[in-house]
Amino acid sequence: MRASRSHLTAILRSAQAPTEEQLARFTGFLNKTYRREVPLQWEEDPSLQRGFRLQVGADLYDWTLDGRVRQFQDYLRRLQPGQSDILPLLRQAVDEWEAAVAPEEIGEVLSVDGEIAVVSGLRHAKYGEILLFQSGVKGMVQDLRTDSLSCILFGDSEDVCGGGMVRRTMKTAGMPVGDGFLGRVVDALGVPVDGRGPIEAETFRPIETPAPGILDRQSVNTPMETGLLAIDAMFPIGRGQRELIIGDRQTGKTAIAVDTILNQRGKNVICVYVAIGQKTSSVAQLHENLRRRGAMEYTTIITAPASAGAALQYIAPYAGCALAEHFMYQGRDVLIVYDDLSRHAIAYRALSLLLERSPGREAYPGDVFYLHSRLLERSARLSEALGGGSMTALPIVETQAGDVSAYIPTNIISITDGQIFLESELFFAGQRPAVNVGLSVSRVGGDAQTKAMKSAAGAIRLDLAQYREMEVFTQFSSDLDEATKRQLTYGQGLMRLLRQRQYDPLSQHRQVLLLTAALNHVMQDIPLPQLETFREGLFAFVEGEAAELCRRIDRTGQLPPEDREALLTLSRRYLRTYQERSGG
């Protein structure tokens, strides 16, 4: 029974005036429901051709044909989804459904400012609940106050005006999920935007859910190979890890994420790419590149372009995370890319200022850390009891002039398990990926490396660090001894070998081969301009001479001493052949 309220007035609307008998029944219903006498008045509404609509304060009882149809639709949605045969389901629904005498809580739009609507009357609405406006536009509650609430709008705000009616849906924001989304491009609400028709969802999943607890997780010890030698050798990423990709604009951040997606082909990994605030043409180009290389078969792109507005940009990464969680809790491995969280934070800042939340550092609200922590903490490798699935996150953050001490970069660095820092100077010098060895780190480290990669990588980070330091101290010196010159040549060769073309990730056996040969100075005397040619020839030679060895490395991730010696012997044989052919 609903609690009694003072100053209640009931308004009965219909196209035709009710009879005395009908008025008496309505009056009896009001007295019984609200335990008091409620004044009842009738208003003519020509749009209600069949039935009555009774409004009591914020409660709305809809006995019109449209209201009954809406009740029946809600009842159908509550039935178990995924039925292959709809006819038995409809027969069951028709037999079991009864029209309920239950009020809908409605409110009134007080004002609309940009993508924010202020609503009164919805006293029981909850944070994160979806509201439905009279025009059909949906909104999500974001701010609760004593006499009103504010919500963000997922549609054209011009369709929402002051004085309009808004009703509760009793549902929190959700994302349709299922295998049908693989290979598709959808918006932040799960609506396809690739022109290939609707997607049949298996179920709905809330876009915000609690992160798995400690007991629901297991250690991160399985590699998520990027196919990029500079990363897999020195900053390995594990399944379930959160590795930040950070750097200035146009330094190859997205390229690393895309190459990682391409490298998952045939590895039973599902990929979700979330594009936040990007140009539609950029997303279309990305989709085409992935499609031509066969990666869209296991990838979903969720886009909230710059033209979509701050509200959709705000929920886009959470929607992508909900889709990834669906697969993770099925025991599958998922890679999700958030490109990028800088734009996400800016969209949230815009909404927060419209919601009149107090700005703090760099005009961001105080809860901007929570904005990203509750998103990234959902990445995990689940325990075997929960299926053992994993979600690996690659958030991308853009810096200004390499300033990693800015508010958003420092926030996300403190949340993630390491960062790959891309340096502008290295990028413009032709070093791509432009990974800064000194500032990049993976806090999972060797636990996420195969034994073959760990054995082959050896002390490459130390060698590169020594080279960078020696390079700084010798750049003004013209008189160098032979040992120093040889060390510099060796370091320059390592840097050149770490260069990699985009859309060309390396398999594990190629990475192991390259590291084994380079760290044993097999390529020491190859001129830098010829290293690219030498590398491609080495791959072809070894794969032709020892195909089974290459397959064994890829399959087992092991590199016993005899296999390592075999790779080294083959590398030296090819070196001699190359030098004889080139006259070196």
Please tell me the total number of residues recorded for the chain in this structure. Answer: 584
**Mind giving me the DSSP string for 22-67?**
HHHHHHHHHHHHHSS---EEEEE-TT--SS-EEEETTEEEE-SHHH
Alpha carbon distance 359, 349 (integer Å)? 8
Task: Please tell me which residue in 70, 217, 265, 443 is annotated as part of the active site.
Answer: 443
Q: Which residues pair with 441 in a beta bridge?
A: 419
Q: Alpha carbon of 522 to those of 5, 464, 535: distances in Å? A: 87, 17, 11
* Rounded CA separation 452/459 (Å): 14
Residue 166 bridge partners (DSSP): 107, 133
Cα distance between residue 390 and residue 41, in whole Å? 60
How many angstroms separate the CA atoms of 584 and 525, rounded?
A: 9
Q: Which tokens in the block code for residue 503? A: 């859309």
443 is an active site residue: yes
Cα–Cα distance measured from residue 23 to residue 358, given in angstroms and rounded to the nearest whole number:
51
Query: E-strand spans in 242-388?
Result: 244-247, 269-276, 299-304, 333-339
| Whether residue 340 has a cis bond before it, omega within 30° of 0 | yes
CA distance 471 to 249: 26
Whole-number Å distance between alpha carbons of 513 and 517: 6
- Residue 214: how many CB atoms within 10 A of its CB? 7
Burial (0-12, 13-18, 19+ Cβ within 10 Å), 287? buried
Q: How far apart are CA 523 and CA 490, in angstroms?
A: 8
Catalytic residues, by residue number, are: 443
